[in-house]
Amino acid sequence: MVAAIKVAVLGASGHTGRFVVDALRQKGAAAIPATRSGRFVALGGGEEACHIIDFSQGESLDRALAGADAVINCAGPFFDTAGPAAEAALRARMPYLDVAAEQRTVLDLFERFDAPARAAGVTILPAMAFYGGLADLLVSALVPGPDRVETIDIAVGLDSWHPTRGTRLTGERNTFKRLIIRDGELVPIPEPAPSGPWTFPAPFGVQPVTCVALSEIILLSRHVDAAAVTSFMNLKPLADLHDARTPPQASDAHGRSAQQFVLDVRLTSDGKEWRAHASGRDIYAVTAPLVVEACIDLVTGAAAPGVRTPGEIFEPRSFLARLAPLIVVDFEDKPSMAKSSDTRPLAVSPS
């Protein structure tokens, strides 16, 4: 019963955290907010009691997780919070989920926590968000079989990007080399980075893109056998990202911005191309139903222990279907012949 589920939300007062608390409550689950400041105001207004957490003090995390069935970590920068929060989840023997976009954090979780989580019988699911989990699910839904996939290209199209303070802080800290996949291995993005035009579904159309590799690359490297995987983004939101005058602006009663997105995936295998795309509004707001649906499934189902990816745990098409109408997914189920002349970014040969 969803109504009996209790979920601790770390970083509940942040922009995404408030959406997550609201999504849990809309599903009938109990959200237990926890913040560094000890203050929490829900999307509907009104201050509520909440736990005070300090990621350098494990005892405060243990108190916040006491009595919960799972924990969702929305507190960035995740460089600082993911490890301590995952350790607390292992101590409490409960599923851990986060919404990290940065590759280094997700890699660290796989490297540090997979064996302990398996031993404890706990599922750890990082990057269950717009950046990371959504692309992993789309690709997993397209993979035609067990044989190696030739190429996977993922392109994010945003009409704008008004980043949160947490996004900006993470960007300032994220000095690690970004990785893509070549010859089945994680390698640094080459110089110059892959770039060029990409034909998005309407209304975005043909737009210039450049390689922007986020946590989806790490997730896919764990369970999809692909020779090359590259992620791209159109240029308009990248200009917004560097403009400090562009914080998120709510445009409806639910706190969502007017931002429109499309996440477009192309997969080639055996000379054929499969394609799917997901579209919707506000990348922060749609992260909430993604991570909340996953959390409820982990609590009510039997997920395999260890650090996992969404494509390993969930049947991707049925999971994505449950997110409509907030995220609308379209599949081109009939593959076409891959065409080298198609409008797509400049390829980088595997090295």
Q: Coil, helix or strand for 66?
A: coil
pLDDT digits (tens, 9 = 90+) for 17-45: 999 999 999 999 999 999 999 999 999 88
In the CATH hierarchy, which fold is given to the domain comprising 2-129+287-313?
Answer: Rossmann fold (3.40.50)
User: In 10 A of CB 180, how many CB atoms?
Assistant: 22
3-state helix, strand, coil in the chain (%, to 5): 35, 30, 35
What pTM did the predictor assign? 0.92
Residue of 208, 174, 233 whose CA lies nearest to 343: 208
DSSP 183: T
Query: Token digits for 268?
Result: 């080639």
Per DSSP, helices labelled H in the chain are 15-26, 58-65, 78-92, 103-120, 135-142, 165-173, 215-223, 235-241, 283-300, 310-313, 316-321
Domain 137-283+325-337 - what CATH class?
alpha beta
- Please give the Cα distance from 256 to 282 (Å, whole number): 6
The pLDDT of 63-77, averaged and rounded, is: 97
**CA-CA distance, 230 to 78, in Å (whole number)?**
23
Q: Give the pLDDT confidence of 201-249 residue by residue, as tens digits.
A: 999 999 999 999 999 999 999 999 999 999 999 999 988 877 766 666 7
